[in-house]
Amino acid sequence: MNTKYEKYINYIVSDIKPPYFKNMVDMYGLRPDEYELILSKLFNQPVSITGKRVENIQDQDLYLELNDGYWQKTERNDRGDITYEVNSDGNWSKREYDEQGYEVYYEDSYGTVIDYR
């Protein structure tokens, strides 16, 4: 990858906001063959893309975008547990886990807080 192109890709990764697929086209004029490069850097891991669904190498959802503008982004820890989810409606939830992988904390945008500790 040449230096100028690499700088451009890194700029996009630092600048882009959801909805990612729409913005990769409308804001940056990217081609579909560039999506995986951008999204792998954005999610800081190898990804696969099916339609407008982004998954990690364990086939777990990281991002989904629908044609009506709805999107959902999921963050996971090293074990693959969901740690944070947010969507285009502004709803979010976050979770924490203990060393054994058991959920010990849950909080969401509706005001629900559950502390299992």
Domain boundaries, the chain: 3-115
Q: Closest Cα partner for 93 from 73, 109, 74, 113? A: 109
Instruction: Give the type of residue at 18.
Output: P
Give yes or no for residue 114 having a pLDDT over 90.
Answer: yes
pLDDT single digits (tens) 59-96: 999 999 999 999 999 999 999 999 999 999 999 999 99
E-only strand ranges, the chain: 48-50, 53-55, 61-65, 71-76, 82-87, 92-97, 103-108, 113-115
pTM of the model: 0.91
